[in-house]
Amino acid sequence: MTTSHSADVLQAQRTARLTRIRRVSRFMKWFVTCVLLLLVAVGLLLSALLVFPGPFEAMNEMMDLGEVERRLGDVPLVQRAGVSALVVISFGILVGICWQIRQLFEFLRQGDYFSPRTLFRFVGIGGWLIAFGLLDVLTDPLMTLLFTLDLPEGQRQLDLTIDGGELFFIVIGSLMIVFGWTLREAAEIADENRQFI
Amino acid sequence: MTTDFSVRQNPRLNRLCGLSCVMKWVSTLCAAIMVVVALGLALALIDPSLDFLATETAVYLDEQERPYADIPFVQRMGILCLMLVYFGILIAMAWNLRRLFSQFQELRFFELATLNRILLAGSCLIAFGVFDIVEDPISSVLATLDYPDGQRQVAVGLDGSELFFLVFGGLILVFGWIMREAAAIDEENRQFV
């Protein structure tokens, strides 16, 4: 009698736990999806604004480029399109990170806690983070160069700076890759062992 | 989830062990470097004539910087406390990573102790993000407290990396929590069987 009672209690605890996990994972999945959609919208808007500033009434927006400022409307279309492409790539990488995180929580919601495909998401997240860190280093100099390309020689600018934030992306990205790879290997070996038994 | 990882001859397991060992020592090295940097800064704050030991020798304010030597002793001690908390969090994070990888090295991947480390890592990231946000205004106030009224400064700022720490810390925290719950369920099942 007591055994079956305690079994019931255990079963109830287990169900409560699983429900809680599923609820949190679902919330996180949709939260990340919203962030993803927001990023897509902002990215598209920003790149459209750079290529066609007219309709957005942004012709007179001043671009701050280190030491000089320039009216957006004065920059030729081709160069604006180049900057716009850079913006699209940056936002694309952020969307990639969000997608990986979304998949991670989707797999967790499905109850795939210790499976290789769930844990491999961390390798994906790490890879995208490193890409973002590297691009972040290149974005500033490339943008100033693109914005000043048509100016006479001597006024063109190229400045390269690395700050802590970019390094942190790369360090945390590498950590994620090692972490994800280790756990995935562990999960795969555990799977194989189980099949063997 | 405890799994039988006793087949040590498995080359994949050996590779995991090796990698975890390397990562463990890299984290240890990072922690050690941070201890050294923190000590140098602390000495420079206590006695500004030792500022050759420190990586920074001034507090950066809005448009100017104020060298440690110009700041009165009591205010410097306040900045020292702030700095100790800052490095304390960083060192805790590195040490936590060290412990995590040392668990991996012992092939204890999905145990409660390991997953608790992940939760702790997330908490450290959040703590660091929050502290990074409040540190700037507090240190600017501390550095200019002896100025006459009107010249004191409060620098408030929020940049992308601080947000990144908060968001990423939150994600890791939730992930760690989910994995820990899952491991707890697993453990209960096994005890029951």
The per-residue pLDDT for A80 is 86
Q: Decide which of A77 and B33 is more confident.
A: B33
Rounded CA-CA distance A72/A88 in Å is 18
CB–CB contact B7 A104 (8 Å) = no
Measured between beta carbons, which residues in chain B are less than 8 angstroms from residue A188?
Answer: 12
d(CA B151, CA B154): 10
Q: Report domain extents, chain B.
A: 11-192
Which positions in chain A touch B10 (Cβ < 8 Å)? 189
> How many Cα atoms sit within 13 Å of A129 on the Cβ side?
25
- Contact between B67 and B49 (Cβ < 8 Å): no
Q: What pLDDT was estimated at residue A157? A: 67
| Chain A neighbors of B31, CB-CB under 8 A | none
| Shortest alpha-carbon distance between residue A150 and chain B (Å) | 31
Beta-ladder partners of A63: A70
How many residues are there in chain B? Answer: 193
In chain B, residues with a C-beta closer than 8 Å to the C-beta of A33 are none
To 10 degrees, what angle do helices B160-192 and A77-109 make? 20
Cα nearest neighbour of A186 on chain B? B109
Q: Which helix (H) or strand (E) holds B65?
A: strand B65-67
Contacts of A193 in chain B (CB under 8 A): 3-5, 7
Q: Contacts of residue B96 in chain A, CB cutoff 8 Å? A: none
Are the beta carbons of B159 and A10 separated by less than 8 Å?
A: no
* Whether the Cβ atoms of residue A119 and residue A183 lie closer than 8 Å to each other: yes
Distance CA A3, CA B192 (A): 10
Partner residue opposite B20 with nearest CB, options A18, A101, A182: A182
Single pTM value for the model: 0.81
Q: What is the pLDDT of residue B156?
A: 73
Number of helical (H) and strand (E) elements in chain B, helices listed first: 4, 2
Q: Provide the number of CB pairs (under 8 Å) joining chain A to chain B.
A: 79
Q: Is the pLDDT confidence value at A191 over 70?
A: yes
Which pLDDT belongs to residue B8?
56
pLDDT value at A190 more than 90: no
pLDDT the model gives residue A2: 60
Q: Give the separation between CA B76 and CA B144, rounded to whole angstroms.
A: 11
Q: Report pLDDT for B70.
A: 81
For position B38, what pLDDT does the model report? 93
Tell me the ipTM for this assembly.
Answer: 0.80
Check: CB of residue B124 under 8 Å from CB of residue B96.
yes
User: pLDDT tens for residues A82-133?
Assistant: 989 999 999 999 999 999 999 999 999 998 888 889 999 999 999 999 999 8
Residue of chain A minimizing CA distance to B111? A114
Q: What is the Cβ-side half-sphere exposure of residue B108, based on CA atoms within 13 angstroms?
A: 14
CB contact under 8 A, B97 and A175: yes
Pick among A175, A176, A177 to test the B interface (most B CBs inside 10 A): A175
Give the bridge partners for B65, in sequence order.
B60
The pLDDT value given to residue A44? 94
pLDDT tens string for chain B (193 positions)?
A: 555 565 556 788 888 888 999 999 999 999 999 999 999 999 988 888 877 777 777 777 766 777 888 888 888 899 999 999 999 999 999 999 999 999 998 888 888 888 999 999 999 999 999 998 888 888 888 888 777 777 777 777 777 778 888 888 999 999 999 888 888 888 777 776 5
Residue with tokens 């039988």: B4
Q: Which distant-in-sequence residues (6+ apart) come within 8 Å of A118 by Cβ?
A: A104, A107, A108, A112, A187
Cβ within 8 Å, pair B23-A114: no
CA distance A130 to chain B (A): 14
Considering A156-160, A161-165, A173-177, the range whose residues carry the highest mean pLDDT is: A173-177
Q: Which two tokens stand for residue B175?
A: 């992930």
List CB contacts (< 8 A) between A9 and chain B.
none
Helix (H) or strand (E) holding A178: helix A164-196
pLDDT band at A177 (very low <50, low <70, confident <90, very high): very high
Residue B6 pLDDT: 56
Quote the minimal CA–CA distance from A137 to chain B in Å.
14
Number of neighbours of residue B180 by Cβ within 10 angstroms: 20
- Per-residue pLDDT at A197: 55
pLDDT at B188: 76
Return d(Cα B132, Cα B148) in angstroms, integer: 27
Angle at B99 between CA B96 and CA B104, to 5 degrees: 130
Decide: B82 and B139 in contact? Cβ < 8 Å. Answer: yes
Q: How far is A45 from chain B (nearest CA, A)?
A: 20
Identify the residue among B185, B187, B189 best suited for mutation to test binding to A, counting A beta carbons within 10 A and taking the highest: B185
CB atoms within 10 A of CB A127: 19
pLDDT, tens digit (0-9, with 9 covering 90-100), for A41-70: 999 999 998 888 877 777 777 776 666 677
